[in-house]
Structure 1
Amino acid sequence: MILDSLLVWPTGSIWASVVLGLGLVIVAYKTASTIASWHRLRHIPGPPGVGFSKWWMLRNTLGGHMHLATKTACKKYGSLVRIGPNQLVTNDPDVLRTLWAVRSPYKKGPFYEAVRFNPARDNLISMRNDTLHAELRAKMAPGYAGKDNESLEAAMDKEILIFCDLIERKYISTENDYRPVDLARKVQYLTLDVITALAFSKRFGYTEQDTDLYEYIKITEDSMPVMMFLSIFPSLALVLQSPLFRRLMPSEHDRVGFGKFISVARQVVGDRISSDKPHRRDMLGSFLAHGLTREEAEGETLLQIIAGSDTTATAIRTTMLYLMSSPAAYQRLANEVRTADAEGRISPGVVADAEARELPYLQAVIREGLRINPPVAGTMDVVVPEGGDVICGYSVPAGTEIGCSEFGVQSLSSVFGSDADVFRPERWLEAEAELAEDPESERLKRMTSTWNLIFKYGKWQCLGKEVALLELNKVFVELLRRYDFSIVNPNKPWHSINAGIFIQSDLFTKVTRIPTKA
């Protein structure tokens, strides 16, 4: 026994020393790498502790208010702010135009890995190779521009009328019948039907059935905490997309959620390719006619659902909320729409896009609604190229990730005035009037070029911009020519969190018919 103890004890002591030594090496390495990471960007200001960990980013992201945190940070620390060990954010419009320019050497950051729907294939957003991205974008641009789609506006008109019919059937309040409606949810039904009608030529019928078909919205909202976490730690997305975990991802075999959309997309694209008219004049037909493969067409139609429905729904919800909260603005827009209707300046069915563009206050409201709450508020990081760069007067080393504080950009008092945090559509009309009086005035040009950054810029400008504006031009006119809207609970009008895109619900609204014309 004594001999055994003498033989075992030294061995155990050696292993304990080895383990302790390895632990000390790991701690020393992590400490050195943390200090080195802090040191390379130490000259750029930011909130306390951001140089040592991503805790500040994680806390604000999971709290659903990263968009406001970056806005506040830029106001406090300047136009270039450090928010993580290797992460910066800017609210400078000129810097963003430089980073996003067509010939910019900046590339998309690792964040984009997390927005792959198919682990084996990129889509237009997740694609980080600029050459491949430009090629795919060129094939898709005609479909988004409407050049190959003769019925785009008519298809949208049909969905808007179905949406108005839903309100008419189920959600009109009268003196004797109070029927509040969650406008946030119903608006998303509309935008889902619009985008599936345009993308698939096969509307899902959310509005008609007045329900969350396939639980798409519920499952999308439930999965947001995971997506928010992956946006901070994008390397984990590659783990989830690996063959080991791929079966946990949405699949065409799912009966609900995003997987159901994958199944429908594959069926619709397959049916179209095997039909006698694969190049029918709609968005899918345009994609195929310009060279998208079957797999690319499936992926891009799925992308349209998320990028097209959620963002447009946010724009409609937010603008309606701010209008209902601003009686003077609401009444001015309602008067403009109803006067145009009474004078026959807008079509009796659904307003034409060209007619809506002639309503100046409507255009100001649309711009102000998008400005006050940009629908896409993720930082969307890009990577500093080899050789580094000088940004906002700071030397920034290669490999650093730089994101955009879109809420910070759109609230710049130097661009939009001292009341930039206020929803006030009149600022756009004032800038137009100033330009009319003084052709050399730069105010409107500066406001417009900054506002356009909502849709990004250059090589990453949103292809769906004109389709989204077309929908907004029609929706507000058709709602306000028929109905009046008021918030049910002004103290807590809705629930809204930011996950790069917005998750919004419980915008309970009272809807009444406007008085019938004599």
Structure 2
Amino acid sequence: MTLLSALPSPLSDGLSSSSAIQLLYVAVGAVVTYNLFTWYLSWRRLSHIPGPAGAGWSKWWLLRNTLGGNMHLALKQACEEHGPLVRVGPNVLITNDPDTLRRMWGVRSPWKKADWYDAVRWDPTKDNLISQRDDDKHTALRAKMAAGYSGKENEGLERTIDEQILEFMDLIERKYLSSDGEFRPMDFARKIQYFTLDTISQLAFGKNFGHVREDRDVYQYIKITEESMPVMLILTVFPALARMLQSRMMRGLLPSEKDKVGFGRFIGVAKSVVAERLASDDPYRKDMLGSFLAHGLTRVEAEGETLTQIIAGSDTTATAIRTTLLFLMTNPGCYAKLTGEIREADRKHVISEPITNVEAQTLLPYLQAVIKEGLRRFPPVTGTMNTEVPEGGAEICGYQVPAGTDVGWSAVAIQHSKVVYGEDAELFRPERWLEAKGEDLKNMTATLDMVFKYGKWQCLGKNVALIELNKIFVELLRRYDFSLVDPTNPWYSYSAGIFIQHGLNVRVTRVAKAYCNGA
């Protein structure tokens, strides 16, 4: 008898093959039952809160609308159909209530950023100002950067923006100015992004990347960023995937400073610019980077935050400019009022050339109304930006919500609120800002400010963005007229939390009588 034959067999030990199969079925059934039970408990936890069919059982609703490029509209519709608090995922709620958001985002609020923000960590080894979820670390980082963004320690902020606007107008003159005998269409959506990229890189690095000068997507940054947006969208829906990609084993798949094109190239440029500045005789010169370093930003932090400036400061401002111009071109009355105000002020020499930020704020009331209405009607940032219900739970819009629940917002639903802005809130009508008085105007203004978020998470770049908006429309419309090439198909626009937009083809002509001595 061999050794193997002497070993006991499970079946010979009293367990028949049919019994083994039955035991296997029981084990599988137990696992399935456990998973179904936990799935049910997950659904039941927020089952008292209404939402789209099936959204409480899986993330399919979120994923489908995210990849479809219309999440901003889907969230707005969900709020209209189900109320101010809507369940859009197993553990994700959305609100369109401004008071709730102010409470969530307030400076002393116990609410924290949810893991949604893991998807916007550009460098897998460290957080940036946007992705940082620890409030204490976020506050410390923010304090080092606030002065640089405010302009108080950046003496050349307005001058830098003026220089980039002049370069943009030079591009129009060289390549895109049409006349009665010549048609030279311009993709305004793409070209204005060149302008915002050059402006923010000049402010952040002390030199721009030359997008406007070369009239091309330098380093293919825009192309590669837009192609990678679907991946980032998936990561915001499934943050665990973001953490997996950022793990040491998977980091090789992410952009690197060794890349010759795309975001990786910008990483390399950021590192070289910061290194050059720190090695210079005057690292704390009066610009944005100098201010950051003077207030204690480390070398590594400076590299990361300059990249954050490029991403957060170029796409969003470009969206605000291009969408506002589109609304103006499709509303002839508003276009005529704005151009009339600008050109009359120019004719009377009450505004400088180029206009100053203070002049735009105080002397051109209809311009201010147009800027506000453009931001309201088409918020540039529509990501849900989820925050987490703190320990002990919270009451939101009359519902009890347990701790650990993610709560985001619908920017479009809030900025299209008929309660706040009136029954015609869906219309682009700048006059509402001139007509509103007292508490109504105060409420409208406070709600609009949420475009730049609020409280402890308010956008530091708000001041820079508003200066760009105050200047760009004046300098363009005092010189040129803009009209759509194809009003029936004006552009391509895809919501990815921020917007991918191109194909806004316009005809640019010089005004009948130029009131300025420039271009």
- TM-score of the pair, normalised by structure 2: 0.95
Is 1:466 the counterpart of 2:463 in the alignment?
Answer: yes
Deviations 1:112-148 (A, max 9, x none): 0111111111000000000010011011000000111
Cα gap change, 1:254/1:20 in structure 2, threshold over 3 Å: closer, same or farther? farther
Cα gap change, 1:175/1:457 in structure 2, threshold over 3 Å: closer, same or farther? same
Q: SS of 2:490's equivalent?
A: coil
Name which of 508, 512, 515 aligns with 1:515. Answer: 512
1:84-95 residue pairs with structure 2 within 5 A?
84-95=89-100
Residue of structure 1 in register with 2:492 after alignment: 495
* Structure 1 unaligned spans of 5+: 436-440
Residue of structure 1 in register with 2:478 after alignment: 481
Residue of structure 2 in register with 1:49 after alignment: 54
Counterpart Cα distance in 2 of 1:110 and 1:220:
22
Counterpart Cα distance in 2 of 1:216 and 1:14:
63
Residue identity in the other structure for 1:217: I
Alpha-carbon offset, residue 30 of structure 1: 2.1
1:329-478 residue pairs with structure 2 within 5 A?
329-348=334-353, 350-357=354-361, 358-431=363-436, 435=437, 441-478=438-475
Name which of 328, 353, 357 aligns with 1:323. Answer: 328
Residue of structure 2 in register with 1:206 after alignment: 211
Alpha-carbon offset, residue 200 of structure 1: 0.3
Counterpart Cα distance in 2 of 1:201 and 1:21:
68
Counterpart Cα distance in 2 of 1:235 and 1:418:
42
CA contact (8 A) 2:383 2:498 kept: yes
Q: SS of 1:76's equivalent?
A: helix
- Which has the larger displacement, 310-319 or 350-359? 350-359
Residue of structure 2 in register with 1:168 after alignment: 173
Is 1:250 the counterpart of 2:271 in the alignment?
Answer: no
Residue identity in the other structure for 1:271: E
- Which has the larger displacement, 28-37 or 296-305? 28-37
Counterpart Cα distance in 1 of 2:185 and 2:21:
68
Counterpart Cα distance in 2 of 1:373 and 1:12:
67
Residue of structure 2 in register with 1:311 after alignment: 316
Is 1:182 the counterpart of 2:196 in the alignment?
Answer: no
CA contact (8 A) 2:478 2:514 kept: no
Name which of 148, 152, 159 aligns with 1:154. Answer: 159
Q: SS of 2:482's equivalent?
A: strand
Is 1:292 the counterpart of 2:289 in the alignment?
Answer: no
> Alignment length, in residue pairs?
506
Cα gap change, 1:362/1:20 in structure 2, threshold over 3 Å: closer, same or farther? same
Deviations 1:63-84 (A, max 9, x none): 0111111111111111111111
Is 1:80 the counterpart of 2:85 in the alignment?
Answer: yes
Residue of structure 1 in register with 2:107 after alignment: 102
Residue identity in the other structure for 1:284: L
Cα gap change, 1:15/1:488 in structure 2, threshold over 3 Å: closer, same or farther? farther
Deviations 1:339-384 (A, max 9, x none): 1111101112x11111111200000000000000111101100000
1:124-139 residue pairs with structure 2 within 5 A?
124-139=129-144
Counterpart Cα distance in 2 of 1:20 and 1:198:
66
Cα gap change, 1:197/1:13 in structure 2, threshold over 3 Å: closer, same or farther? farther
Counterpart Cα distance in 2 of 1:269 and 1:21:
62
CA contact (8 A) 2:389 2:406 kept: yes
Q: SS of 2:89's equivalent?
A: coil
Counterpart Cα distance in 1 of 2:350 and 2:122:
44
Cα gap change, 1:11/1:132 in structure 2, threshold over 3 Å: closer, same or farther? farther
Cα gap change, 1:119/1:11 in structure 2, threshold over 3 Å: closer, same or farther? farther
CA contact (8 A) 2:378 2:412 kept: yes
- Which has the larger displacement, 28-37 or 81-90? 28-37
Q: SS of 1:498's equivalent?
A: strand
Q: SS of 1:83's equivalent?
A: strand
Residue identity in the other structure for 2:304: G
Deviations 1:486-508 (A, max 9, x none): 11111110111111111111101
Q: SS of 2:508's equivalent?
A: strand
Counterpart Cα distance in 2 of 1:232 and 1:266:
31
Alpha-carbon offset, residue 16 of structure 1: 5.3
Q: SS of 1:442's equivalent?
A: helix
Name which of 28, 31, 35 aligns with 1:30. Answer: 35
Name which of 226, 230, 233 aligns with 1:225. Answer: 230
Counterpart Cα distance in 1 of 2:118 and 2:506:
38
Cα gap change, 1:19/1:302 in structure 2, threshold over 3 Å: closer, same or farther? farther
Cα gap change, 1:242/1:343 in structure 2, threshold over 3 Å: closer, same or farther? same
Q: SS of 1:179's equivalent?
A: coil
Counterpart Cα distance in 1 of 2:24 and 2:323:
57
Residue of structure 2 in register with 1:438 after alignment: none
Alpha-carbon offset, residue 18 of structure 1: 6.0
Alpha-carbon offset, residue 244 of structure 1: 1.1
Cα gap change, 1:335/1:27 in structure 2, threshold over 3 Å: closer, same or farther? same
Counterpart Cα distance in 2 of 1:111 and 1:329:
39
Cα gap change, 1:13/1:267 in structure 2, threshold over 3 Å: closer, same or farther? farther
* Structure 2 unaligned spans of 5+: none
Residue identity in the other structure for 1:246: R
Q: SS of 2:403's equivalent?
A: coil
Q: SS of 1:284's equivalent?
A: helix
1:268-283 residue pairs with structure 2 within 5 A?
268-283=273-288
Counterpart Cα distance in 2 of 1:127 and 1:471:
27
CA contact (8 A) 2:387 2:408 kept: yes
Alpha-carbon offset, residue 24 of structure 1: 2.5
Residue identity in the other structure for 1:216: Y
Cα gap change, 1:293/1:16 in structure 2, threshold over 3 Å: closer, same or farther? farther
Residue of structure 2 in register with 1:241 after alignment: 246
- TM-score of the pair, normalised by structure 1: 0.95
Name which of 108, 122, 125 aligns with 2:127. Answer: 122
Alpha-carbon offset, residue 25 of structure 1: 3.0
Alpha-carbon offset, residue 23 of structure 1: 3.3
Alpha-carbon offset, residue 26 of structure 1: 3.1
Counterpart Cα distance in 2 of 1:159 and 1:39:
55
Counterpart Cα distance in 2 of 1:173 and 1:22:
75
